[in-house]
């Protein structure tokens, strides 16, 4: 069995997932990096970044919405390492087209919900079951599950309703998993990013620039993926071991309700 802890990160090829993988490698975790394609430029760059921090890099191709594929992926990770210590459910997509909620299509809704909510729910379920079993097999084992959601879990955007609904559902997923798994010795937390510089947000740079300049974000800057990586690394270090179900708003104050 591998002596080092192992972190599994979905959506690891770019943006937040990539930053989280690098941050956890820096905390001493071997990295099982999951993306739809292992041949992307992002994954090719991520491997050396992980390895130069002294950690092993295991790239895995998976469409998280394929729930029937989860079992094989988890088995492959356990066959290689013998353990899973940290799961970061990060994979997510925006609608292909922003439509008013009154024009939202069933096809778009199903696509977003399958990737952003259904896939992560059942992937977490699969790994949680393995974590419960591993508790009695690994000494000093402290398993953690983190769900990466969004401020869109609580802030409405009417032309991408399916995204907001999926993130609200994922937020409650974190809550119910935290409730159920705390007695099993598994820490579950939610990390809720604000306006972060990623491929998803850069398409609306002008809109977000104006919002930030106008004071919507009190700290008056874009977030960067490394902000999320640092938050997840803090959880990994054990800084929040008595914080089951905690929501970490990494949004520069966008979460502040003000009059």
Angle CA(162)–CA(213)–CA(100) in degrees, nearest 5?
A: 20
Asked whether 224 and 148 are in contact (CB, 8 A), the reply is: no
Strands 144-148 and 86-89: parallel
**In sequence order, what DSSP letters do the residues of 110-126 get, joined into one string?**
HHHHIIIIIHHHHHHHH
- Catalytic residue list contains 163: yes
Nearest to 255 by CA among 146, 116, 171, 153: 153
Asked whether 187 and 142 are in contact (CB, 8 A), the reply is: yes
Neighbour-count burial of 86, counting CB atoms closer than 10 A to its CB (0-12 exposed, 13-18 middle, 19+ buried): buried
Question: How far is residue 91's CA from residue 203's CA, in Å, rounded to a whole number?
Answer: 19
Q: Which residue among 29, 81, 109, 163 is the active-site one?
A: 163
Question: How far is residue 221's CA from residue 224's CA, in Å, rounded to a whole number?
Answer: 9
Helices and strands in the chain: count of H runs, count of E runs: 9, 7
Residues annotated as catalytic (active site), given as ranges: 163
């Amino acid at each position: 069995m591998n002596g080092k802890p192992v972190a599994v990160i979905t959506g690891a090829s770019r943006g937040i997932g990539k930053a989280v993988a690098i941050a956890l490698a820096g905390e001493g975790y071997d990295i099982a990096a999951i993306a739809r394609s292992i041949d992307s430029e992002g994954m090719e760059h991520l491997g050396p970044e992980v390895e130069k921090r002294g950690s092993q890099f295991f790239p895995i191709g998976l469409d998280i919405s394929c729930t029937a594929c989860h079992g094989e992926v988890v088995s492959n990770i356990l066959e290689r390492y013998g353990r899973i210590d940290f799961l970061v459910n990060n994979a997510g997509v925006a609608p292909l087209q922003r439509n008013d909620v009154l024009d939202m299509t069933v096809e778009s809704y199903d696509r977003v919900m399958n990737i952003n909510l259904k896939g992560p729910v059942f992937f977490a379920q699969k790994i949680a079951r393995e974590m419960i079993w591993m508790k009695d097999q690994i000494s000093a084992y402290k398993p953690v599950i983190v769900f990466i959601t969004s401020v869109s879990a609580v802030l409405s955007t009417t032309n991408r309703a399916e995204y907001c609904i999926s993130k609200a559902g994922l937020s409650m997923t974190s809550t119910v998993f935290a409730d159920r798994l705390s007695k099993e010795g598994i820490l579950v937390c939610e990390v809720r990013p604000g306006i972060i510089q990623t491929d998803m947000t850069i398409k609306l740079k002008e809109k977000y620039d104006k919002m930030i300049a106008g004071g919507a974000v009190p700290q008056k800057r874009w977030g960067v993926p490394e902000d999320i990586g640092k938050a997840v690394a803090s959880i990994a270090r054990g800084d929040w071991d008595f914080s089951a179900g905690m929501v970490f708003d990494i949004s520069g104050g966008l979460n502040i309700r003000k009059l």
